[in-house]
C-alpha cells in the first residue's frame, strides 16, 4: 500500500497528501500546491538506467584487460643478472655534462664582452686570421683590461658548443645578452672580425642610401645583420653611466653601429665631427655612451696584413691592441686613433716594397664614431 506524502506549502506549513492525489490545498493560507509525482518517477527511472550503463562499461573494460593479462602471464620471467654484472653497472660513472648545453655567462658583471671571429672555412670567400683576431682580443681584455674570462662570450667556428658558433641567431642572442640589465659604470665590449658589406637602405635613415651589415656564418640562407638592428640592440638600451666600446674589423664598417656622430680626422691630427643621422629615427642611447672603432669608412675595404705578426691578421684588431698597450696609462681617444692610423700607414708602406704585393687604390684607416660628440684629445679612454 502506498504511503502518504509529506508536502510543504510556501507558507511553511507541512501537509500530508493521499497517494494518487495530484494537488492539495493548505488549510492555513489556502494555497493549492500541485504534486508532480510523475517527475519523481522519471528521475528514479533515469537513475536506474545510469547504473545499468556503468555496470556494462565495467564488464567491457574487464573483457579488454583479460587478453593483455594472459599475454603478460605467458612471457618468461626476466633473467637475473649476474652479481658481477650488476656491480659493473653500478660502478660506471655518470656521463659528463654535455658542452652542447653550456649556458651563457652571467649578464650582470661590471665588465663583459662579446667577441666574434669568422673565417668562413670552406667557402670561396673565406678569410684568414679572423679567429686569431678574436683570440687576441680575448687575451687582451683578460690580461690587460681586467675582464673576467667567464664574462666574455666567444663566438667562432672553433667553438665546441653550437650556441657559440657565429650564426645569425647566436650573434643576435649574444648582442642582447651583452646589454641585458646594463647599469651605470658597466663597461661593455663588442668585437667583430669577419666580412662586412653594404646593401640598399629601405627605410630612408641613411645619408648615402646604403645600410652597413655584418655577415654571420649562415648569411647565405639567414641573411645579414644590418646596422639598424645593431643600433637598436646594442646602442639604444644603454642607460646613463653605461659605456659600450665596439671594435669592428670588417669592410664597409664605418657606421655599422649607426651612431650619429662621425669623427673625420686628417693626417695632421686635426679633426671635426660630422653628423650622420637623417633625423627620421633616433640613433642615440638611453643616456649611456657608445663608441665604435671601425676598420674603414663605409665605402672602403678593410685589410689584413702579415707585417705585424708574420701571419695574416686583421690590421684593425692588431693596431687597436698595440695602440692601447703602447699609449701608456689613461690615453685619450685622439692619441689612440693617431697611433692606430700611423701603425697601419707604416705597414702599408712596408708592404709596398714587396714585389708580390698589390697596393689598393686607397689606404683604409680606422674611423671613430660615437653616440655623441666629445673632445677626443681631452677624453680619456677607459675600458
pLDDT digits (tens, 9 = 90+) for 147-167: 999 999 999 999 999 999 999
User: How far is residue 186's CA from residue 181's CA, in Å, rounded to a whole number?
Assistant: 10
For the chain, the domains span 5-32, 111-370
The average pLDDT across 263-277 equals 91
Residues 6+ apart with CB under 8 A from 205: 228, 258, 277, 278, 280, 281, 283
**Cβ count near 14 (within 10 Å):** 9
Entry pTM:
0.71
Pairing of the two strands 5-8 and 14-17: antiparallel
The average pLDDT across 190-214 equals 90
> CATH class for domain 111-370?
alpha beta
pLDDT given for residue 121 in this prediction: 96
| Catalytic entry in 191, 195, 219, 245 | 195
- Of 226-230, 274-278, 304-308, where does the model show the most confidence? 226-230
Assess contact for 231 and 277: CB atoms under 8 A.
no
Partners of 261 in the β-ladder: 275, 370
When the pLDDT of each residue in the chain is averaged and rounded to a whole number, the result is 83
**Strand ranges inside 59-201, DSSP E:** 111-117, 152-156, 187-193, 196-200
pLDDT greater than 50 at residue 127: yes
More confident residue, 349 or 358: 349
Residue 195 bears catalytic tag: yes
Min mean pLDDT across 56-60, 64-68, 186-190 is at 64-68
| Catalytic entry in 9, 26, 130, 251 | 251
pLDDT given for residue 71 in this prediction: 61
pLDDT greater than 60 at residue 358: no
Residue 82 bears catalytic tag: no
**Strand ranges inside the chain, DSSP E:** 5-8, 14-17, 23-25, 32-34, 111-117, 152-156, 187-193, 196-200, 210-214, 225-226, 243-249, 261-265, 271-275, 289-294, 304-305, 313-314, 367-370
pLDDT given for residue 181 in this prediction: 93
User: How far is residue 331's CA from residue 144's CA, in Å, rounded to a whole number?
Assistant: 14
pLDDT band of residue 95 (cuts 50, 70, 90) is: very low
pLDDT digits (tens, 9 = 90+) for 163-178: 999 999 999 999 999 9
Partners of 25 in the β-ladder: 32
Amino acid at each position: 500500500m502506498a504511503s502518504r506524502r509529506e508536502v510543504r506549502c510556501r507558507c511553511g506549513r507541512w501537509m500530508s497528501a493521499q497517494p494518487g492525489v495530484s494537488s492539495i490545498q493548505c488549510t492555513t493560507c489556502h494555497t493549492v500546491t500541485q504534486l508532480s509525482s510523475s517527475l519523481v518517477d522519471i528521475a528514479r527511472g533515469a537513475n536506474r538506467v545510469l547504473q545499468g550503463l556503468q555496470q556494462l562499461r565495467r564488464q567491457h573494460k574487464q573483457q579488454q584487460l583479460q587478453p593483455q593479462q594472459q599475454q603478460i602471464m605467458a612471457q618468461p620471467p626476466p633473467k637475473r643478472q649476474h652479481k658481477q654484472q650488476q656491480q659493473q653497472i653500478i660502478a660506471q660513472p655518470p656521463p659528463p655534462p654535455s658542452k652542447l648545453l653550456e649556458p651563457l655567462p652571467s649578464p650582470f658583471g661590471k665588465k663583459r664582452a662579446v667577441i666574434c671571429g669568422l673565417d668562413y672555412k670552406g667557402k670561396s670567400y673565406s678569410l684568414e686570421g679572423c679567429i686569431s683576431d678574436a683570440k687576441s682580443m680575448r687575451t687582451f681584455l683578460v690580461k690587460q683590461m681586467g675582464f673576467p674570462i667567464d664574462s666574455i662570450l666567444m663566438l667562432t667556428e672553433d667553438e665546441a658548443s653550437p650556441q657559440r658558433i657565429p650564426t645569425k641567431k647566436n650573434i643576435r642572442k649574444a648582442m642582447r645578452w651583452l646589454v641585458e640589465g646594463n647599469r651605470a659604470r658597466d663597461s661593455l665590449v663588442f668585437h667583430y672580425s669577419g666580412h662586412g658589406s653594404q646593401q640598399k637602405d629601405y627605410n630612408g635613415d641613411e645619408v648615402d642610401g646604403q645600410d652597413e651589415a655584418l655577415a654571420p656564418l649562415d648569411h647565405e640562407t639567414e641573411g645579414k645583420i644590418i646596422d639598424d638592428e645593431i643600433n637598436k640592440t646594442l646602442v639604444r638600451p644603454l642607460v646613463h653611466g653605461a659605456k659600450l666600446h665596439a671594435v669592428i674589423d670588417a669592410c664597409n664598417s664605418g657606421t655599422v653601429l649607426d651612431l650619429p656622430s662621425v669623427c673625420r680626422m686628417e693626417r695632421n691630427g686635426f679633426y671635426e665631427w660630422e653628423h650622420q643621422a637623417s633625423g627620421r629615427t633616433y640613433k642615440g642611447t638611453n643616456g649611456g655612451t657608445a663608441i665604435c672603432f671601425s676598420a674603414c669608412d663605409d665605402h672602403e675595404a678593410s685589410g689584413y696584413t702579415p707585417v705585424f705578426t708574420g701571419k695574416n691578421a686583421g690590421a684593425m684588431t692588431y693596431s687597436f691592441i698595440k695602440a692601447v698597450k703602447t699609449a701608456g696609462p689613461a690615453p685619450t681617444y685622439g692619441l689612440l686613433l693617431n697611433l692606430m692610423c700611423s701603425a697601419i700607414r707604416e705597414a702599408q708602406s712596408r708592404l709596398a716594397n714587396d714585389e708580390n704585393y698589390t697596393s689598393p687604390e686607397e689606404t683604409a684607416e680606422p674611423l671613430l664614431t660615437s653616440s655623441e660628440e666629445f673632445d677626443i684629445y681631452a677624453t680619456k679612454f677607459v675600458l
